Amino acid sequence: MIRLEKRPNPSRLWTALTPVLAVLLTMIAGGILFAILGKDPFEAIRTIFWDPLFNEQFAAFSRPQLLVKAGPLILIAIGLSLGFRAGIWNIGAEGQYILGAVCGAAVGLAFYPSESPFIFPLMVIAGALGGWAWAMIPAVLKIKFGTNEILVSLMLVYVAEKLLASMALGALRNPEGGGFPGSRNLSQHPGTDNPELIAGTGLHWGVATAFIAVILAYILLNRHILGYQIKLAGQAPRAARFAGVNPNLLIAICLGLSGALAGLAGLFEVSGPAGQISIDFNSGYGFTAIIVAFLGRLHPVGILLAGLLMALTYIGGELAQFMLGLPAAAIQAFQGMLLFFLLGLDVLSNYRIRLTGFAAKGAS
């Protein structure tokens, strides 16, 4: 018989090992899936994990794209991880991402056609504030009325999507766009653009900010009293109270901070890679970031790696689709497997597997 035995403390070895194991298992299970679909599994796995990085035909383009795709994921996931560690569940990063983009873009468009170098910093501030304000709605409701922040933040995503559509069709619509929805292009206008900082690297301000956020989050969690309080509140809420942690303040800080980071991600995206506010500007970064946060074990360095890995499966997945003719749904299933195996294997860090025979039974 197989028995699970709870470990007194989560195993450090397994905590570090399970993500690697999950990736390997995903490759195997995914390979079987691709083989059933009639594709060469080795070629498919190579196309997804190897070609974007090293294929000479694509790598020069897709390597920088890895940063472009991973940047917002990492930035949002870092913010979410702080709350998740404290047991504060912000599921609505997608909405905060939208609001950050809308507020930032609105500031940039308000100054049009000025090309002043002061506009972009203002847009950054507006973007962060927009995301922050949207996240403060569930925070205030939770503090004042004890509402569930998971539901409120999630529902606000749908409100944000409607707001985005209304902005793309109304207030922020390009007056020279022939009545079509969508704002002016911010990334093609000096002053409001978020260009590549070093040509050919994909490194724009959003990616730089994501890296800075990783470092700051690491310092916060390991060196700062707030980081200690966050960890304590998550692991032992009652003890945290006795230790003088103000739970309401923590809710406001965690939700506000994650909202601000998601808002920043939205602003950098709309002024850079996406270029404009459009009806369906958001493409799920806020939700994918939840996966990235857990894939990275809620640890800043882990999130950095997880964000890059996730971006790799996206870009490699696209290559596999049109190079090998794999259906998009198979790629999505492949990405889903990754999370499935990771969460499934989590058991190993918290439990020990015991093989027990009848002898053991007799002894008990």
Partner 1 sequence: MKFRLALKGAALAVATSVAGMAMAEDPTKVGFVYVGPIGDGGWTYQHDQGRLAVEAEFGDKVETIFQESVPEGADSERVMTQMALAGADIIFTTSFGYMDATNAVAAKFPDVKFEHATGYKRLHPNVATYDSRFYEGRAVLGHIAGKMTETNKIGYIASFPIPEVIQGINSYFLHAQKVNPDVELTVIWVYTWFDPAKEADAAKAMIEQGVDVITQHTDSTAPLAEMAKTDGIIGFGQASDMGEYKPAPRVASIIDNWNPYYIKRVKAVMDGTWEQGHSWGGMAEGEVVIGEITGPVPDDLKAEAMGMVEAITAGDYHPFTGPIMKQDGSVFLAEGEVATDEQLVTMDFYIQGITGEIPN
- Minimum distance of partner 1 from residue 160's CB (angstroms): 13
> Does residue number 181 form part of the binding site for partner 1 (CB under 8 A)?
yes
> Does residue number 364 form part of the binding site for partner 1 (CB under 8 A)?
no
Angstrom distance (rounded) from CA 142 to CA 138: 6
Q: Of the ranges 115-123, 169-177, 253-261, 356-364, which one interacts with partner 1 (CB under 8 A)? A: 169-177
Q: Indicate the residue type of 8.
A: P
> How many residues belong to the chain?
364
> Does residue number 38 form part of the binding site for partner 1 (CB under 8 A)?
no
End-to-end CA distance of the chain: 14
CB nearer to partner 1: pick between 64 and 138: 64
Distances in Å between the alpha carbon of 300 and those of 65, 119, 214, 288, 359?
21, 31, 5, 16, 46
Angstrom distance (rounded) from CA 21 to CA 13: 12
Angstrom distance (rounded) from CA 127 to CA 267: 5
- Minimum distance of partner 1 from residue 68's CB (angstroms): 7
CB nearer to partner 1: pick between 257 and 264: 264
Give the DSSP H/E element, type plus range, for residue 159.
Answer: helix 149-169
> Does residue number 20 form part of the binding site for partner 1 (CB under 8 A)?
no
DSSP string for 247-297: HHHHHHHHHHHHHHHHHHHHHHHHHTTS-S--TT---SHHHHHHHHHHHTT
CB nearer to partner 1: pick between 247 and 273: 273
Contacts (CB under 8 A) with partner 1, residues 253-312: 269, 273-276, 278-281, 283-284
- Minimum distance of partner 1 from residue 48's CB (angstroms): 13
Contacts (CB under 8 A) with partner 1, residues 120-159: none
- Please check whether residue 104 is in contact with residue 271, taking contact to mean a CB–CB distance below 8 angstroms: yes
Strands 2-6 and 351-355: antiparallel
> Does residue number 175 form part of the binding site for partner 1 (CB under 8 A)?
no
- Minimum distance of partner 1 from residue 287's CB (angstroms): 13
Based on DSSP, count helices (H) and strands (E) in the chain, helices before strands: 15, 2
Give the total of residues touching partner 1 (CB under 8 A): 44
Options 4, 16, 180, 235; binder of partner 1; rule CB under 8 A = 180
- Minimum distance of partner 1 from residue 169's CB (angstroms): 5
Among 292, 326, 330, 312, CA closest to 48 = 312
CB nearer to partner 1: pick between 87 and 273: 273
Displacement of CA 213 from its chain's centroid (Å): 13
Contacts (CB under 8 A) with partner 1, residues 191-210: 198, 200-201
CB nearer to partner 1: pick between 252 and 277: 277
> Does residue number 169 form part of the binding site for partner 1 (CB under 8 A)?
yes
CA atoms 320, 323, 325, 327: torsion sign: positive
Token pair recorded at residue 219:
């310092």
Please tell me what DSSP assigns to residue 185: -
Residues that bind partner 1 (CB under 8 A): 56-62, 65, 68-69, 165-166, 169-170, 173, 178-181, 185, 198, 200-201, 269, 273-276, 278-281, 283-284, 315, 318-319, 321-323, 325, 327-329
